[in-house]
Structure 1
Amino acid sequence: MKSFQFLTLPIFLFTVLVSYSQNETKTTKSKEFKVEFEQFSLDNGLHVILHIDRSDPVVAVALTSHVGSAREKAGRTGFAHLFEHLLFLESENLGKGGLDKMSARIGGSGANGSTSRDRTNYFQTVPKDALEKMIWAEADKLGYFINTVTDPVLAKEKQVVKNEKRQSYDNRPYGNNFAVINKNLYPENHPYHWEVIGSLEDLQNASLQDVKDFYNRWYIPNNVTLTIAGDFDVKQAKAWVQKYFGEIKRGEAIPKMEKQPVTLTETKKFYFEDNFARLPQLTLTWPSVYEYHPDSYALEVLASYLSKGKKAPLYKALVEDKKLTDEVELSQYNSEIAGQYILNVVAFDKTELNTVMTGINEAFKNFENQGISQQDLDRIKAGQETAFYNGLSSVLGKGFQLAQYEIFAGTPDFINQDVKNILAVTKEDVMRVYKKYIKDKHFIATSFVPKGEANLALEGSTLAKIVEEKIIEGKEESFDASIAATYAKTASSFDRSIEPIYGASPEVVLPTVWKEKSPSGLTVLGIENHEVPLVQFQMQIKGGLLLENPAKIGVSNMLAQLLTKGTKNRTPEQLENAIESLGATINAFATDESILITGNTLAKNYNETMKLVQEIVLEPRWDTIEFDLIKQSTLSQVIQQKADPNSIARNEFKKLVYGKESILMNNRIGTENSINSITIDDLKTYYNQNISPSVTNFQIVGAISRAQVNSSLATLNKNWKPKEVTIPTTKIADAPANSKIYFYDVPGAKQSVIRIGYSALAATDSDFYPADIMNYRLGGGSFASQLTQELREGKGYTYGIGSSFIGSNNKGPFTIYSGVRSNVTYESVRLIKEIVEQYGKNFNENDLNVTKGYLIKSNAREFETMASKLNMLYEISNYNFPVDYAKQRENTVKNIAIDDIKALSDKYLNANKMIYLIVGDAETQLQKLEQIGFGIPVLLNKTENNN
């Protein structure tokens, strides 16, 4: 992906699932649900799909090219993904910075893209007044781009993609697993033999002519689909599409790629000692079917039944009976010409994977003997119905869905056949595909085990061949990304350098919020919205880590998990089945300051879902077997985090920022010692003392009225007795008087994870939002930020970097975060320090205009999704914000001046009073950091390399 956000967008598109209703006799009836659309093609072959949705004043525009890694050649891999990056940088008329710069000005969601084996897409949601600008920009990328790519541009973007590979594959546990699988599942001449991101060697060897040849072959109108979804005028949109795309020349015809299923003639087993793994992982992969193959529907049901939930044969064998793991994953990865079926198990510490394999075989035998019941088939389909509507909850989701069918099924109309295929799945189909694709069939087995623990690998495994990069000081290719490209502009019938003007400004209407305070003390906030027949809610019980005994850290985390493992009158399995039969999800988890119970359900099943929530809250089961499983699972998480550089950085930074006197300095899941000391009685004590409506907020959004919500909570309010709960204040460390560098050694790390910051502001502080405004151009504005422009776009040091203020009712940290190539650790830290030091001094009128333009215009899409509306209610209920706080913030943005930004920068961005944490390879990087000027770095851990 081009995006570097740490909470990333999904790479692969939605699969539309069935919508159906269940009557009292358990028979299944289809219920038609259509996404209306219009489609047409230009003379040059560009296919266009239009969908109207006037629920919000926004439009999503997606450009999808039918090219992914499968269209590459051996020795020239990674081109499709490299292109995804390049197309954002510049085009002839957009200029340097391309769509990223424009996105900041127009209030877009951020230009983004993703690459798969078979397609590359580019997408963004914008206020509806910017639609013509987006069509102009997307056309410029497609038809007027390639001249802007120069050798320096290519050299810089190679470094960015390499950093993405290090971050996503080479510097994380099990990151190379799928490279081993695909290399051995698919023969060398198969298009899926290599990874989407390609090899580092191929990327480095790519020439400018290679890039141009790839572009001219695949980035042509007759290989592209343009999707526009949202609130717009169809006639006008068609005219704009014709104007801006119409004269781009058609390319050579693209032959259809034939299906290429694979067959294994033997089972192949491989192992690898993973530098970043602390737990053994076993993955089994079978050849499977292509996207929308008739058997793919039954295979989807099979995967769900075998692995998900208490009834699942794999769960029963591996989790409940043998206690080898806390989770089993089984899924199909179907692509255009072939597919694979993947079973993955991360086992507990020191577990021999042969025992896992034995458990898998036992589970399969049990399934063969028992099969799947009609009740379980119906239960799985109920979940598919909710998933279907979730996929339609944004205009971008609708646009993606239509493009998916057009490209891989030949027409958006395939939605009707897709539904029929899902409904047609029978119990017999599920057993048939199991026997056809899994039972006694050959597979690829990969055992990724911790360093020095090859004895845990599956018996008969051979060492996997993985090419590990050697990062050498001063050996990276140099470039100057500031050199402007010189070229003759591509001819056009009109002046494309003139950016279209805005349309009529959209009227931003804030959602109507209602609020109730019940006699029990429960506070309820809601937004009624009927765009899709769904309801989402969250019950926030304040406390979390703040209410824990410092000697027993992890209690609230374990309690949250145990709450959904059965109730007084329902076993864990019965509760799970009751939830799933409604097509609902109910989850519980702990944060530093709360326990949250969240739900997602069809509106028609909301009341029944809430009855189950009431049981969970008022009638916990206290299942000791489940408690033991949760305890073991949590211990495994702690062990695994010790080897993951990003987890290490998060946990160590908390300690440094919050300080030893604050309970918030702890990793809320606990330590090995604290978890081992926790008993189920500790959870009961926390529950009896702290779970009370008096400290609970209930936030709800969806196709449900205020009266219906109040009615659904009546019994809960009556039976949930309030207690006196005092949320303690916690002392949080001040910013350091002088900066200091801390280093955590991860020998052999390909990247250094950087965290820089200090304890700054609470969300309720009057300066919090102004400081957030100030931070936009520093690191909060993605590609509009100076940190990204300097470290990624200018130097190629990183795949992504950002900065943020995070706070609650307690003071939270200001943080700069990134992962950089190991051998530029010192250079990156030095550059970050310089940028922070100069930020306020250099802040100018253009910076202010970009900041204001984005923050004001982005309000049009601020509350489009149900999740964003739910977050609005969260902020209102927790921080006592007024219901129109978004409008008030807009006024703050309008009135802020350059001098205000400079004053805020002086107050909150002192580079000499921050904590600098580096997680990386101490042997090569530690000593150089002394040159930053903050003294000798403090080594936080001892390893063989630094003893």
Structure 2
Amino acid sequence: MFKIKVVTKPKLKHIMKKIQSLSLYLFICVSISSYSQNEKSKDFKVDFEKFTLKNGLQVILHVDRSDPVVAVALTSHVGSAREKVGRTGFAHLFEHLLFLESENLGKGGLDKMSARIGGEGANGSTSRDRTNYFQTVPKDALEKMIWAEADKLGYFINTVTEPVLAKEKQVVKNEKRQSYDNRPYGHTNSVISKNLYPETHPYNWEVIGSLEDLQNATLEDVKNFYNRWYVPNNVTLTIAGDFDVIQTKSWVEKYFGEIKRGQDIPKMEKQAVSLTTTKKLYYEDNFARLPQLTLTWPSVYEYHPDSYALEVLASYLSKGKKAPLYKTLVEDKKLTDAVDIYQYNSEIAGQYMLSVTAFEKTNLNAVMNGINEAFKDFESKGISQQDLDRIKAGQETAFYTSLSSVLGKGFQLAQYEIFAGNPNYITQDVKNILAVTTEDVMRVYQKYIKGKNFIATSFVPKGESNLVLSESKLATVVEEKIIEGKEDSFDASIVATYDKTPSSFDRSAEPAYGESPDVKLPKVWKSKLSSGLNLIGIENYEVPLVQFQLQIKGGMLLEKSTQIGVSNMLADLLTKGTKNKTPEQLENAIESLGATIKAYSSDEGIFISGSSLAKNYKATAALVQEIILQPRWDTKEFDLIKQSTLSQVQQQKADPNSIARNEFKKLVYGNESILSHNRIGTEKSVESISMDDLKSYYLLNGSPSVSNFQIVGAVSENEVIKSVSSLNKEWKSKEVLFPKMPAANVVTASKIYFYDVPGAKQSVIRIGYPALAATDTDFYPATILNYRLGGGGFASQLTQQLREGKGYTYGIGSSFSGSNNKGPFSISSGVRSNITFEAVSLIKEILNNYGKNFNENDLDVTKGYLIKSNAREFETLSSKLDMLYNISNYGYTDAYAKEQEDVVKNISLANVKVLSDKYLNADKMIYLIIGDAETQLGKLEQIGFGKPILLNESATK
């Protein structure tokens, strides 16, 4: 829903870059079953072709015919590091602007075209060092995509006007409020960057930039930035998927070839930083309910030789039961439920970060003491070869997991080209990973961590500065003041007038479709075992990987209303050891296979999901069986889980989006329904839950008769049946009684509910009502109805009017969600605080007029997208697993995707209008706003639904 992304979160960057950078090429490589210190790394070969146009554009092609789709990515080697002090945030601003319009694509740009061609949704992201634009489309739209990307690169800047710039400034401001200002710990990275990097260093500011710089940006500034950095000789185009290479080369030359080369781009020199002293800073966070300590050390740039050992060090110190930090802070001292260490390595420098969110009222000095104890333990023991091998085994499976997406492959080709100088760097990259030794791990610890200066940030709840690290100084944080009526006004509908950029051919003519892709539905096999366990699977041999999930129906539905949270805690406990394996032994057994096994709960079920290399599937399945048949019921782990759950409950009280989700459930389902509860429970319910409650729930409700095993990957039906044969014999079947769900609330008249979060920079909006179950005849037609309202991203009216037209929000969407029980229709958004009334009024107006104004063009766009997008419907293993879930639970046929396609083809304009009248009545909905009551509550009575109902009286001023 929220299309434009700023890659600024170190943890996200760390995870994605490592997984993508090491997995992409392995699908054509030999499988590595084990690692040893003396094993020679193997050379890997990747099938790609690279060439350069005369204007400097780098082009990389990678053919993958596994699905009838193509991913196109345009990566510009410009991020926030290329900006100047006083003009920060420009790279990210451009990420937004390039989607809006270009000379030949017209207003709406690639977003508008994406809706017609069945694209995944044009998207983009910005980091310190690069900006990329990407989309996966059916292969018949490849020429259209090449045409469109070339238009964005070479024929864009004339379309940017003062009103367009003013509007997009508002959108970016809303993004900053949503991602930084209106969430717990949102300012942490800013404080770290300002204190780790000198003012002259290009990593001193955040990718999103400062609001002041953004506000001061002029049209001339924007054009200068574009002309300097958005030139072919600073851009890499990657195309990955099912396409004809010769034809594609011809198209690339035609559409990109005559775009003028820019000035030469200087190479960014490495700029490592060092600290002459440790800096301790603190901040009282309006949205935090728990204290958080983050330590940051200067580290190394991306692909630095030491980065590989540092990655292993991060995993060993913090991940899993054996991790020194886990043992000390979580198990022994019980100060937190998790510790995380991660690298945030960029092109010219890097940082090594350790983060701990402690339990309520915990003094962060105690956390720091625990960290030092854990470090001393590591110094004395080091890392064993067995643990090193275990960590590398996990990396192997992670590599394969990202292979089923052609987009991920295209991303990484560009990554190596830009930051390593050659896509073929995969050979050296993998050698470096396999070459890490136990001595290397200790060496980098001593070189970068032990006794070194660092930045320490203590973020604590308001009024709890007594919890901060001793000798900490108040951090400088720039808080935006939102003033009523002070935002810039603009008219985004004004059309730009300009002389079109000359071209050797008519670029205004959109290319025709290629040959329509033949969508093949995966072949599904099914088997019902004697115990009642249902097996359903898809064989897929694109990569040597298996993904699976065991679904035990029930979840919160089978809980007592006074003890909500039992199934959630049970799911957490299931993977914490077995009768014959301690929690640590089970974890080691899973990781040594390079597998993952996780358990979690939902409102309606408990799931044990996992993945493994195909060769290790049998052993992985045996561990799943052991988890189910021989639970450990470890009291120490139970206590840790209870404390962790209580912390989650406390954290959610401070997060406006969590508040909105939980309050909306109450209003939609009503007090009589178990579904009205937050499934992790309340402080009172969690405190009341005992180990016996978990055992009783599992004894009564854990049965193969209400379970489905869904599996996809490089394993046959017979192999799967054999792998669960013992489970089938030993897991005793029993009758599980599901309570009858009370009828969902019927909203007879709209009311406005308000939850006060004093000082909120944004208002979080939820609008909706109890609507449909996934099994209802109208459910899929209702999702068709919703596409142009809010389900189609930038093709939707809500986005076009609230974001593109008014700049009120960073993102807004709507959906029908349901299961075997009725789920809600809902509209979700976060808007800047001082236009809450205007935003709600506009949403109400859109709902009132949607059915009346829905026309043939809306229908054509809807049909075009939903039909063509089927080409990429089942591209990844995860999407195939979702397909099996739908078939297992809702009585859908194996060919339901084709059947839904027929529904789309046959739906008429009259049908849509009838559906709109039936399901989109703005006067029969719940309107929930989470925001600052002092400034926003009073005006909402003017909406026309009476005086708003305040849900938390104690928070009012």
TM-score, L = length of structure 2:
0.98
Q: Supply the distance in 1 between the matched residues of 2:682 and 2:573 (Cα, whole angstroms).
A: 18
Alignment equivalent of 2:675, drawn from 644, 664, 670: 664
Q: Which amino acid aligns with 2:235?
A: V
1:69 matched to 2:80? The reply is yes
1:524-923 to 2 correspondences below 5 Å: 524-923=535-934
1:124 matched to 2:129? The reply is no
Q: Which amino acid aligns with 1:358?
A: N
1:40 matched to 2:51? The reply is yes
**SS of 2:837's equivalent?**
helix
Q: CA deviation at 1:8?
A: 13
Alignment equivalent of 2:421, drawn from 387, 410, 420: 410
Deviations 1:732-772 (A, max 9, x none): 43331100000000000000000000000000000000000
Q: Supply the distance in 1 between the matched residues of 2:733 and 2:441 (Cα, whole angstroms).
A: 49
Alignment equivalent of 2:440, drawn from 429, 435, 455: 429
Q: Supply the distance in 2 between the matched residues of 1:262 and 1:31 (Cα, whole angstroms).
A: 35
1:104 matched residue in structure 2: 115
**SS of 2:341's equivalent?**
strand
Q: CA deviation at 1:730?
A: 1.2
Q: Which amino acid aligns with 1:116?
A: S
Of 32-41 and 104-113, more deviation after overlay is shown by 32-41
Q: CA deviation at 1:16?
A: 2.7
Q: Supply the distance in 2 between the matched residues of 1:441 and 1:203 (Cα, whole angstroms).
A: 36
Q: Indicate how the Cα distance of structure 1 residues 529 and 129 shifts in structure 2: closer, same or farther if over 3 A, else same.
A: same
Q: Which amino acid aligns with 1:815?
A: S
Q: CA deviation at 1:104?
A: 0.2
Q: Supply the distance in 2 between the matched residues of 1:906 and 1:391 (Cα, whole angstroms).
A: 43
Q: How many residues align?
A: 946
Instruction: Work out whether residues 100 and 110 of structure 1, in 8 Å CA contact, stay in contact via their aligned partners in 2.
Output: yes
Instruction: Work out whether residues 560 and 595 of structure 1, in 8 Å CA contact, stay in contact via their aligned partners in 2.
Output: yes
Q: Which amino acid aligns with 2:335?
A: L
Q: CA deviation at 1:401?
A: 1.1
Alignment equivalent of 2:265, drawn from 254, 258, 263: 254
Instruction: Work out whether residues 37 and 435 of structure 2, in 8 Å CA contact, stay in contact via their aligned partners in 1.
Output: no
1:321-360 to 2 correspondences below 5 Å: 321-360=332-371
Q: Which amino acid aligns with 1:16?
A: S
1:382 matched residue in structure 2: 393
Deviations 1:448-498 (A, max 9, x none): 000000000000000000010000000000000000000000000000000
Q: Supply the distance in 2 between the matched residues of 1:24 and 1:774 (Cα, whole angstroms).
A: 53
Instruction: Work out whether residues 2 and 84 of structure 1, in 8 Å CA contact, stay in contact via their aligned partners in 2.
Output: no
Instruction: Work out whether residues 2 and 85 of structure 1, in 8 Å CA contact, stay in contact via their aligned partners in 2.
Output: no
Q: Supply the distance in 2 between the matched residues of 1:763 and 1:537 (Cα, whole angstroms).
A: 22
Instruction: Work out whether residues 2 and 112 of structure 1, in 8 Å CA contact, stay in contact via their aligned partners in 2.
Output: no
Unmatched tracts of structure 1, length 5 or more: none
Alignment equivalent of 1:401, drawn from 401, 408, 412: 412
Q: Which amino acid aligns with 1:675?
A: V
Q: CA deviation at 1:944?
A: 4.9
1:280 matched residue in structure 2: 291
1:3 matched residue in structure 2: 3
Instruction: Work out whether residues 739 and 912 of structure 1, in 8 Å CA contact, stay in contact via their aligned partners in 2.
Output: yes
Deviations 1:596-644 (A, max 9, x none): 0000111111001001000111100000000000000000000010010
Q: Indicate how the Cα distance of structure 1 residues 387 and 806 shifts in structure 2: closer, same or farther if over 3 A, else same.
A: same
Q: CA deviation at 1:141?
A: 0.1
Instruction: Work out whether residues 657 and 758 of structure 1, in 8 Å CA contact, stay in contact via their aligned partners in 2.
Output: yes
Q: CA deviation at 1:222?
A: 0.3
Deviations 1:859-900 (A, max 9, x none): 000000111000000000000100000000000000000000
**SS of 2:22's equivalent?**
coil
Of 224-233 and 718-727, more deviation after overlay is shown by 718-727
Q: Indicate how the Cα distance of structure 1 residues 487 and 24 shifts in structure 2: closer, same or farther if over 3 A, else same.
A: closer
**SS of 2:151's equivalent?**
helix
Q: Which amino acid aligns with 2:734?
A: K
**SS of 2:879's equivalent?**
helix
**SS of 1:392's equivalent?**
helix
Instruction: Work out whether residues 669 and 676 of structure 2, in 8 Å CA contact, stay in contact via their aligned partners in 1.
Output: yes
Alignment equivalent of 2:317, drawn from 293, 306, 313: 306
Instruction: Work out whether residues 633 and 691 of structure 2, in 8 Å CA contact, stay in contact via their aligned partners in 1.
Output: yes
Q: Supply the distance in 2 between the matched residues of 1:540 and 1:212 (Cα, whole angstroms).
A: 54
Instruction: Work out whether residues 543 and 727 of structure 1, in 8 Å CA contact, stay in contact via their aligned partners in 2.
Output: yes
Alignment equivalent of 1:17, drawn from 12, 15, 22: 22
Q: Indicate how the Cα distance of structure 1 residues 2 and 40 shifts in structure 2: closer, same or farther if over 3 A, else same.
A: farther
**SS of 1:848's equivalent?**
helix
Q: Supply the distance in 1 between the matched residues of 2:393 and 2:70 (Cα, whole angstroms).
A: 30
Q: Supply the distance in 2 between the matched residues of 1:691 and 1:34 (Cα, whole angstroms).
A: 47
Q: Indicate how the Cα distance of structure 1 residues 117 and 265 shifts in structure 2: closer, same or farther if over 3 A, else same.
A: same
Q: Which amino acid aligns with 2:676?
A: M
Q: Indicate how the Cα distance of structure 1 residues 23 and 777 shifts in structure 2: closer, same or farther if over 3 A, else same.
A: closer
Q: Indicate how the Cα distance of structure 1 residues 8 and 443 shifts in structure 2: closer, same or farther if over 3 A, else same.
A: closer
Q: CA RMSD of the aligned region, Å?
A: 1.5
Instruction: Work out whether residues 198 and 204 of structure 2, in 8 Å CA contact, stay in contact via their aligned partners in 1.
Output: yes
Instruction: Work out whether residues 659 and 732 of structure 1, in 8 Å CA contact, stay in contact via their aligned partners in 2.
Output: no
Q: Supply the distance in 2 between the matched residues of 1:848 and 1:785 (Cα, whole angstroms).
A: 12
Q: Indicate how the Cα distance of structure 1 residues 929 and 810 shifts in structure 2: closer, same or farther if over 3 A, else same.
A: same
Percent of aligned pairs sharing the same letter: 78
Unmatched tracts of structure 2, length 5 or more: none
1:183 matched to 2:188? The reply is no
**SS of 1:21's equivalent?**
coil
Deviations 1:901-921 (A, max 9, x none): 000000000000000000000
**SS of 2:477's equivalent?**
coil
Instruction: Work out whether residues 21 and 31 of structure 1, in 8 Å CA contact, stay in contact via their aligned partners in 2.
Output: no
1:82-161 to 2 correspondences below 5 Å: 82-161=93-172
Instruction: Work out whether residues 22 and 28 of structure 1, in 8 Å CA contact, stay in contact via their aligned partners in 2.
Output: no
Q: Which amino acid aligns with 1:579?
A: I
Of 574-583 and 21-30, more deviation after overlay is shown by 21-30
Q: CA deviation at 1:943?
A: 3.7
Q: Supply the distance in 1 between the matched residues of 2:936 and 2:952 (Cα, whole angstroms).
A: 15
1:926 matched to 2:931? The reply is no
Q: Supply the distance in 2 between the matched residues of 1:8 and 1:58 (Cα, whole angstroms).
A: 29
Q: CA deviation at 1:3?
A: 1.0
Deviations 1:169-206 (A, max 9, x none): 00000000000000000000000000000000000000
Q: Supply the distance in 1 between the matched residues of 2:358 and 2:441 (Cα, whole angstroms).
A: 27
**SS of 1:192's equivalent?**
coil
Q: Which amino acid aligns with 1:582?
A: L
Q: Which amino acid aligns with 2:369?
A: T
1:444 matched residue in structure 2: 455
1:214 matched to 2:225? The reply is yes
Q: Supply the distance in 2 between the matched residues of 1:30 and 1:592 (Cα, whole angstroms).
A: 46
Deviations 1:513-537 (A, max 9, x none): 1011001000011001111111000
